[in-house]
Chains A and B, each alone.
Chain A
Amino acid sequence: MNTSNPSESSDFADTTPWKLENGLQILALELPSVDYISMDLVLPVGVVSDPEGAVGSSLLIAELLTRGTHSFTGEELLTAFDDHGIRYSTSASLMSTSIRLQFLPEHFRKAVTLLKTMLCEPLFPEDALDPVKALFLHDLRSLRENPSRWAMNELSRRYFPAPFHRSSLGEEEDIGGVSRESLVNQWQSRFGPGGGVLSIAGRLDLAEVRGTLEEELSSWEGQCDPVPEMGAFPERKKFYLPFPGNQQQLVFRYPSAPMESEHYYAGKVLSQLLSGGMFGRLFIEVREKRGLCYSVYAQHSGRREYGSLVAYAGTTPERVHETAEVMGEILRSPIESLGEDELRRAKNNLLSQIVLSEESTSARSRSNAVDWLLVGRVRSLQEVQSAVLSVGVPELQALLAAYPLEDPAAITLGAENFGAWNTIAEEETHS
């Protein structure tokens, strides 16, 4: 039984979009009942477009943005954030570079001022370069301490065409060799407001937001590098990487529907059928009925350039063969004898996930930015709901006709080369 107080939630479409003269797309979402503001700047420039021989530059640039500007030393900058309780983070991935600031509404102007100094006058101090490089070399070194992450990384390097095959951790030699001058030049030539998105959500005063952003960020100039063209995918193969782990990692990767494909939402529903909640077929067949592993899942990801379905399991070496066979059987005919209940459950679970995750202001801000970059607008909840609800058996069949789950690229990392897959030599590994 529930009370009927009206909820203050608002739809995704309540976002107000406008563009600054310098090309920066602003997305503002007023949520009056929320006590803070979350702000995400996302530039669609990442490791995938780093110059040859300097792969990992985006990672260094993102970190160096907090290490000092022409007006603030690194310590002054971080202290200014802390004095106002502004939570900050910078990061770069394969496809983007981001700055996230979260703060109480009274610190909005200060947050924008500090963002401006990072964007308009970053110093990239010479004496910070080696320590920042060391941080990312630590990260590369630690890859082997997380075998599932390592296996995913090694498979991506062999699944995607160049330069999308790059590791999001960068290349050790390139990180070691890149100069400050190169990073300064890259910041000026590859990163800019044009093509980027600043998404802000929370307890906002729209007029103040508009005025402050125009006043503070209009002087930032430049254009984001275009995303490289995606070439032809290499032939999909299966690989074995020897590793004396207690567990053996198993990853399959299949092409699937990209973001703007008519099959995109069928891809999302399919991954729910395979591993949504605790009812997905992989979870029930591999873990619940047979106890073959602790972690097993499938995940569909769709970007503008490509889509894929990744299926993962970690198990002990003596059971990896059986695990691979059971997974293969399910993945080969993922909608065989699909009942109405099963399909309805998958769609309900997906919709519930979307609505519940959007109750987080920070998740809302980030997803608005990502939506804009991928589809050029913020999708409304109604649009997403009706697209998910419209997926039926014919739509799933059409997805599987366009993207059959056959001949995946695969990797197994562990003690057993159970399928006589192509062995990766130690010197061909990434860490």
Chain B
Amino acid sequence: MTLKLYMAQRISALIMAPLVLMHIAVMIYAIQGGLSAAEILGRTQGSILWFAFYGTFVVAVSIHAALGLRTVLSEWAGLRGTALNAVAWAVLALLLILGMQAVYGVTAT
């Protein structure tokens, strides 16, 4: 892992720290009495704030997870060079697409 990747990993982590705390708080708040699509949408639909919150979260976590898996695959599966980078980019793209779809799904009107 080079300095650039390290900085991306740590900065995405620092951005996520408060978001994760908030996420855990929302989970603890919302889980009581069970969840429903209507309940989730009622909280998030049409909200710019929730869109910014989850949008930032998805971008940060996609970068963070892609870099993390890249390190694990390199150290524990012996993946190197082009193959390693290709997998990392693929993970980033997959998480970004699925994540943004989810953000759209809960915030769009």
Is A bound to B? no
Enumerate chain A interface residues (CB-CB to B < 8 A): none
